[in-house]
Chains A and B, each alone.
Chain A
């Protein structure tokens, strides 16, 4: 596809739902609804809040209830969306979220939104906080409908699903066959990109290293710096914990159930009935967080190397630095 066709192509995606793309908001970026491709900042590094927010909402009402009738009514909104411009790490993160929210006992809310969404990936260049290469998540093989690789004056477009194939055929007037010179350009661009990564983390055996470092002083040292503010979890594309609260109405009989994202860095996360807490101190919470991120979900690590937790930590706790300390490399 030529670069000039982008505008018209994005417009045509409207048939697949409201279009969301990375938009500059102050110093940060955020996935917001757009009406034209030029509203997007497609050369963005990362959004503060990952695209996970479309599927597992930051906060939402789940249902309203009435105790008198023993009834409840789900308040699912059902709208189709296109998420344009997702980077490979975030695509991997959604694949991980799918394992949690769709396999075995699917979460209705997540499932419905996931089915309603079209994902269009977009190529990126790493900054000093990206370590997706180390996590093996810097090139998305699947998990998207279409993926656009930006070349000099065109895009190389990969098709990742049947829906992607359908979109491509409906928009065939924008697409040209791939020439051998395109392949050459793509190969060179990818080769160059591989060399742009400066931040590295050795992940082999990391899970074991973490388990063996249970008593390490590293946890105390960083816990002293940590605010327990939860930002690291709330900006993480693979964090999946949520909290549920019931709000009753004045009649004391009816009300609503809400859920919102939660964080294992908060005191209440480990609180159980009877006032006991699994992780009363920040040392325990910080260690838990790193152990969770460094553990495996089937064949995938629970971190995709997006760098958000480091960037948005008010105390500048560096994710990679902590793990390198744990490994004894620093």
Chain B
């Protein structure tokens, strides 16, 4: 059987997810025995724009160029896998989505009248194209991407962790920081996969892996943290940091905006 052809591409993002693939260091050569990599933006200047079996795409769609490249990759790939939060929900780049226009944002950063890029409001890939699999994380975990590679090569469906960080806390018998200490942990609405790294170190989860798809009970997270005495705006910012484009959080933001008549502090 011919080796599957793989392309690894990046749109707007920090490059961290591609780096996590490179972090497989000790096993990269073994992996290469099983696949043929035709493009790997961060690792090689050789970029062949040919058809691929699996395309891994990192980064959000934040410019028209991103969108063009994404559509091109989609056309050329049998399977498209979004890697990292940017490619799924826009991640930190989307933090201020709907709060201010792109024009306002550009002016605030680059000054009036300048137009360096043709920008779009940051979103994940699935807003524009069909995505076959989404691998959450900011960045993704090496263990996870490794498992995705191996599962696909073995002919299985990769196991995607679509349950909260709380599960991993319990499986590791970590003390619950929210219940026991009243810390503003977002774990109940955030996708697992990090093996509850932060709670294991006594630090509350800020949600870097992003909210759980179609399961995010953001209203209850707000309610829970309000009850513990946290400020509404603080909680909202915390929720929007990695998850502003997620349905439950969007709805919540809208509701809060309406409540305060649009007058929000920064």
Interface residues of A (CB under 8 A from B): 25-28, 30, 48-49, 53, 58-59, 224-231, 234-235, 245-250, 252, 260-261, 263, 266-268, 282, 311-316
- Per CB-CB distance, the 5 closest pairs between chain A and chain B, nearest first, are A234-B170, A227-B188, A27-B180, A229-B166, A229-B188
B264 contacts A by Cβ under 8 Å: no
The answer for the CA separation of A260 and B178 in the assembled complex, in Å, is: 23
Residue B217 is within 8 A (CB to CB) of chain A in the complex = yes
Per-position 1/0 for B208-236, Cβ under 8 A of A: 00000001010111011000000000000
CB distance from A64 to the nearest CB of B (A): 15
Residues of B with C-beta under 8 A to A268: 162-163
**Which residue of the partner chain B has the closest CB to A53?**
B173
Contacts of B181 in A (CB 8 A): 26-27
State A53–B171 Cα separation when bound (angstroms). 10
Give the residue among A230, A235, A249 with the most B Cβ atoms within 10 A: A230
Query: Is B150 an interface position by the 8 A CB rule?
Result: yes
Is there a chain A Cβ closer than 8 Å to B98's Cβ? no
Report if A266-B163 is in contact (Cβ < 8 Å); known contacts: A26-B180, A314-B178. Answer: yes
Asked if B109 is at the interface (CB within 8 A of a chain A CB), the reply is no
Contact at B150–A250, with CB atoms within 8 Å? yes
- In the complex formed, the residue of B with least CB distance to A311 is B179
Are the C-beta atoms of B30 and A250 separated by less than 8 Å?
yes
Task: Give Cα A42–Cα B27 distance, bound, in whole angstroms.
Answer: 48
A-B contact pairs, 13 of them (CB 8 A): A28-B180, A48-B173, A225-B220, A226-B220, A228-B163, A230-B163, A247-B147, A248-B150, A248-B156, A266-B162, A268-B162, A282-B217, A316-B224
On chain B, the number of residues with a Cβ less than 8 Å from chain A's Cβ atoms is 37
Task: List B contacts of A312 (CB < 8 A).
Answer: 176, 179
Q: Does B189 make an interface contact (CB < 8 A)? A: yes
**Does the CB pair A315–B176 fall under 8 Å?**
no
Q: Are B224 and A315 closer than 8 Å at their CB atoms?
A: yes
* Interface residue from B31, B170, B172 paired with A231 (Cβ < 8 Å): B170
Residues in A whose Cβ lies below 8 Å from that of B102: none
Is the CB of B95 closer than 8 A to any CB of chain A? no
CA–CA, A264 and B106, complex, Å: 47
Q: Which residue of B lies closest to A313 (CB)?
A: B179
Q: Is the CB of B153 within 8 A of A252?
A: yes
Q: Are A250 and B167 in contact (CB under 8 A)?
A: no
Q: Contact string, B26-63, partner A, CB cutoff 8 A, digits 1/0?
A: 01001100100000000000000000000000000000
A58 and B171 in contact (CB under 8 A), knowing A230-B166, A315-B220?
yes
Q: Determine the chain A residues whose CB is within 8 A of the CB of B173 once the complex forms.
A: 30, 48-49, 53, 58
Give chain A nearest CB distance to B36 CB in angstroms.
16
> Is B175 interfacial (CB 8 A cutoff)?
yes
- Is A314 in contact with B154, judged by CB distance below 8 angstroms? no
Shortest A220–chain B CB gap in Å is: 13
Of the listed residues B27, B30, B31, B150, the one surrounded by the most CB atoms of chain A closer than 10 A to its CB is B150
Q: How far is the CB of B261 from chain A (nearest CB, A)?
A: 26
Complex CA gap A26/B177 in Å reads: 10
Check A224–B220 contact: CB distance below 8 A: yes
CB distance from A23 to the nearest CB of B (A): 12
B188 touching A314 by the CB < 8 A rule?
yes
Q: Contacts of A228 on B, CB cut-off 8 Å?
A: 163-164, 215, 217
Given contacts A224-B219, A227-B166, A267-B162, 10 further A-B contacts (CB under 8 A): A26-B175, A27-B180, A58-B172, A225-B223, A228-B164, A231-B166, A231-B176, A248-B150, A263-B163, A315-B217
